[in-house]
Structure formats: C-alpha cells, structure tokens
Structure 1
Amino acid sequence: MATQMFEGRGHAAVYQKYRFAPGEELQQTILSYLREKKAIPAELAVDVGCGSGQGTHFLGEHFKKVVGTDISEAQIQEAKDTPCMPNISYLVCPAEELPFQDASVDVLTSFTAAHWFDFEKFMKEVERVLKPGGCVAISTYTVDMSLRYGDCSEKLTKIFRECWDAILKYSHNRLKYVLENYKEIFEALPFPDKKRITDIYDQIPMTVEGVVGYMESASPYQTFLKNDPKTARTLLQETEKRMLETMGVSSRETPVEFWVRHVCVLGCKGR
C-alpha cells in the first residue's frame, strides 16, 4: 500500500494553494515522447497520485477524458473544488488498486507522487490498465531548487537552502528514491521500451510568499510542524524576513524565479 502523507484537510489546502503545475519543459518532454510513440491523440489519460490536481489540469488540454486519482480524500476534495475543464474528473483510490479495466488506458502519468507508492504493485497495475502501445510518464522534481532575483540570486538561494535543509531533516525515508533520480522506479517499470531523463530544468513563476508556502506544503515540514510547532513556524517566518531584506523589498508578493530540476521516467507498453 502507498505511504499516506497528505491526509489532513489543512495540509491539503496548503498543498492546493502553493504546489505548482508541471513546468513548460517537463510538459514538452512528455508530449514529445507521446507524439513519438503515437500515443496522442488519445481517449483516456489517468493521473495517479494527483493530489489537488496540478498535473491533471495540464493533461486536460491534450486528452478527450482525464481521470485524476489519489488515496487522500482531502486532496481529491481540494481537486474537485478547484475549477477545471469539463473532461477532467477525480476518484479516491490507491495507486496499487486502480478502478480501470484491463487494457483501457492510453496514457498513465504520475507527477511527484510515485516515490510514495508500493512500486511492485503499482507497476503491475500500470501493465494491467495500459492498452498495447500505451505510454507511461512518471516524474518528480528534485530537492536542489534555486532562486533568482536581480543580483542577489546566490544569497537568496543560500537562504532558501538553509531553510530547506533544516526541513529535509524531517524527511520520510522514501525521499531516497527522489535523491536517486527515480533510478529504482525506472528499473521497476516492466517495459523494455523505456528511458529516464534526469536534467529537465524549469523556471516556475513564484512570489516570496509562494516559495515559503511551497516549503510549508512539503511533507517533511508538516512532520516538523507536528514535532516542534514553534520552531517550525519561526523558521519560515525568519526565512521570509531574510529573503525580503536580501532582496531589498517589503512585499511578500514580489516575484522571484524558482528554478527546479525534473526527473522523468518514460515507457511504452509493447503492442
């Protein structure tokens, strides 16, 4: 069974507000692969571990029908409460027990979620539900983010990383799969026709508030918050203050460039 880390309504609400959609480079990497494999246009795409639907929305533009699934009722409720295209729907279910018929899905995706799954069971489901010639795209962004703003990018990134490193001390041991660039997930994918790309870089438009909110939405921060609420809250408050002072601005709404690196595992089921 998948590891459940995003269950509370409060955490789900923060996640919905501050988590970002797949960036342009990641989107184009996936779409190019699907075109190469002639997997689009297609009828049905399923986004597994969809959270509050950030990645699912992107799929809605390219498929006739898109279903987002997640084990967390709170996350799915947030997804349902967010306006989306009429061809998108959501279901609560584990990644390892997908409610789709054999060979019924054209494309299956998972954005920054697969490291929480039971790989062996999930991959059996991938193989079962995909049509012959169907494709899978499993991605995550890594923890080595950076910030850019004027001539203080280096200082800003240092402040962010100091805070981020303190938060990551509370990481679940499954973060190791992200740190290993999804190597184990790639190896578990049961299709001979597969590849792993580890150097997709995206600039995500953010504000100072958004960067701090992203850290708040991370599962290690939520663990930190439960263990030591005062220290956890003070860390984010002080980090935001340092960032604003370094930038020479007073508004939390000041835009910054948030750079992330994605890893993407792509595969195609044999016909």
Structure 2
Amino acid sequence: MATQMFEGRGHAAVYQKYRFAPGKELQQTILSYLQEKKAIPAELAVDVGCGSGQGTHFLGPHFKKVVGTDISEAQIQEAKDTPCMPNISYLVCPAEELPFQEGSVDVLTSFTAAHWFDTQRFVREAQRVLRPGGCVAISTYTVDMSLRYGDCSQKLTSIFRECWDKILEYSHNRIKHVLDDYKEIFEALPFPDKKRVTDIYDPIPMTVEGVVGYMESASPYQTFKKKDPKAATSLLQETEKRMLETMGVSSRETPVEFWVRHVCLLGCKGR
C-alpha cells in the first residue's frame, strides 16, 4: 500500500498553496517523448499520486480526458477546489489499485509521488491499465535545490540548504528512492523500451515566502513540526529572516529563482 503522508487538511492546504507545477524543461522532455511514441493526442491520461493537482493541470490540453488520483481525501478535495479545465477530474484511490479497465489508459504519469508507492504493485498496475503502445512518465525533483538572486545566490543557497538539511533529518526512509535518482523504480518498470533522464534543470519563479512555504509543505517538515512545533516554526522564521537580510530586502514577496533538478522515467508498453 502507498505510504500516506499528506492526509491532514492543514497540510494539504499548504501543499496546494506552495507546491509548483512541472517546469518547462520537464514538460518538454515528457511531451517530446510522448510525441515520439505517438502517444499524444490521446483519449485518457491518468496522473497517479496527483496531490492537489499541480502536475495534472499540465496534461489537460493534450488528452480528451485526464483523471488525477490520490490516496489522500484531503489532497483530492484541494484539487477539486482549484479551477481547472473541464476535461480534468479527480478520484480517491491507492496507486496500487487503480479503478480503470485493463488496457484502457493511454498515458500514466506521476509527479514527485512514486517514491511513496509500493513499487512492485504499482508497476504491475501500470502494466495492467496501459493500452498496448501506452506510455508512462514518472518524475521527481531531487533534494539538491539552489536559489538565485543577484550576487548573493551562493550565500542564499547555503542558508536554504542549512535549513533544508535540518528538515531532511526527519525524512521517511522512502526518500532513498529520490536520493538514488529513482534508479530502483526505473529498474522495476516492466517495459523493454524505457529510459531514465537525470539532468533536467528548471528555474521555478518563486518568492521568499514561496521558498519557505515549500519547505513547510514537505512531509519531513510536518514530521518535525509534530515532534517539536516550537523548534520547527522557529527554524523557518529564522531562515526567512536570514534570507531577507542576505538579499538586503524586507518584503517576503521579493522574487527569487528556485532551481530544481528533475529525474524522469519514460517508458512505452509493447504493442
């Protein structure tokens, strides 16, 4: 069964507010592969572990129907409460038990979620629901982010990573999949036609508030907060203060570039 980490309404609301959609380079990597395999345009795409729908929205223009699925009712409610294209819908279900008929799905995606799944059961389910010639696109961003702002980018990144490393001490053991660039998940994919791309870099436009909010939305931070609410809150407040001082600004709304590296697994089921 998938690991459940984003169940609370409060956590889901923070996740919806601060998590970002797939960046342009990641989008292009996925779309180019799907075009190459003639998997788009198509009837049905299913986005597994969709959370509050940031990745699901990207699929809307390319498919007749898009369904986002997640094990968390709170996350799905956030997704449903967010405006989207009329061809997008959401439902609650585990990644390992998708309510779709055998061979009925054209493309199966998962954005920054597959490390929470039971890998063997999930890849069997992907094999079952995909039509012959159907494709998977499974991605995550890694933990080695950086910040850019004027001539203080290096110092700003150091401040961010000092805080981020402290938060990551509370990570679930399934973060191992992210740390190994999804290698184990890639090897489990049952498709002979597959590839793993590990060097996709995207600048995500953010604000100082957005960067701090992103850290707050992370599951290890929520674990930290449950164990020591005062220390967890203090860590983010102090980090934000140090970032603003380093940048020489006072507004939390000051724009910064949040650079992320994506890993993307692409595969095509035999016809």
Which TM class, normalised by the smaller chain length?
Answer: over 0.9
Which amino acid in the other structure matches residue 73 of structure 1?
E
Alpha-carbon separation, structure 1, partners of 2:144 and 2:65:
34
Q: Does 1:188 align with 2:184?
A: no
Q: Deviations over 1:102-135 (max 9, x none)?
A: 0000000000000000011101110000000000
Partner of 1:217: 217
Partner of 2:154: 154
Which amino acid in the other structure matches residue 64 of structure 1?
K
Alpha-carbon separation, structure 2, partners of 1:27 and 1:62:
12
Which amino acid in the other structure matches residue 193 of structure 1?
D
Partner of 2:144: 144
1:86 partner SS: coil
Which amino acid in the other structure matches residue 39 of structure 2?
A
2:63 partner SS: coil
Partner of 2:249: 249
Which amino acid in the other structure matches residue 95 of structure 1?
A
TM-score under structure 1 length normalisation:
1.00
Q: Deviations over 1:219-248 (max 9, x none)?
A: 000000000000000000000000000000
Partner of 1:118: 118
2:89 partner SS: strand
Structure 2 counterparts to residues 12-23 of structure 1, below 5 A = 12-23=12-23
How far is 1:136 from its partner? 0.2
Q: Deviations over 1:148-182 (max 9, x none)?
A: 00000000000000000000000000000000000
Q: Deviations over 1:60-119 (max 9, x none)?
A: 021110000000000000000000000000000000000000000000000000000001
Alpha-carbon separation, structure 2, partners of 1:62 and 1:255:
31
Which amino acid in the other structure matches residue 56 of structure 2?
T
Which amino acid in the other structure matches residue 13 of structure 2?
A
1:152 partner SS: helix
Q: Does 1:33 align with 2:33?
A: yes
Q: Does 1:72 align with 2:72?
A: yes
Alpha-carbon separation, structure 2, partners of 1:254 and 1:86:
34
Partner of 1:103: 103
Alpha-carbon separation, structure 1, partners of 2:230 and 2:7:
22
Partner of 1:197: 197
Partner of 1:163: 163
Q: How many residues align?
A: 271
Q: Pairwise CA RMSD of aligned residues?
A: 0.3
Question: Identity over the aligned pairs, expressed in percent?
Answer: 89
Which amino acid in the other structure matches residue 236 of structure 2?
L
Which amino acid in the other structure matches residue 195 of structure 1?
K
Partner of 2:172: 172
Alpha-carbon separation, structure 2, partners of 1:38 and 1:217:
36
2:56 partner SS: helix
Q: Does 1:51 align with 2:80?
A: no
Alpha-carbon separation, structure 2, partners of 1:141 and 1:61:
23
Partner of 1:6: 6
How far is 1:203 from its partner? 0.3
2:42 partner SS: coil
Alpha-carbon separation, structure 1, partners of 2:27 and 2:268:
17
Partner of 2:234: 234
Alpha-carbon separation, structure 1, partners of 2:22 and 2:66:
16
In structure 2, list runs of 5 or more residues that go unmatched. Answer: none
Alpha-carbon separation, structure 2, partners of 1:248 and 1:159:
14
How far is 1:9 from its partner? 0.3
1:12 partner SS: helix
Which amino acid in the other structure matches residue 59 of structure 1?
L
Partner of 1:85: 85
Alpha-carbon separation, structure 1, partners of 2:244 and 2:201:
25
Alpha-carbon separation, structure 1, partners of 2:7 and 2:184:
26
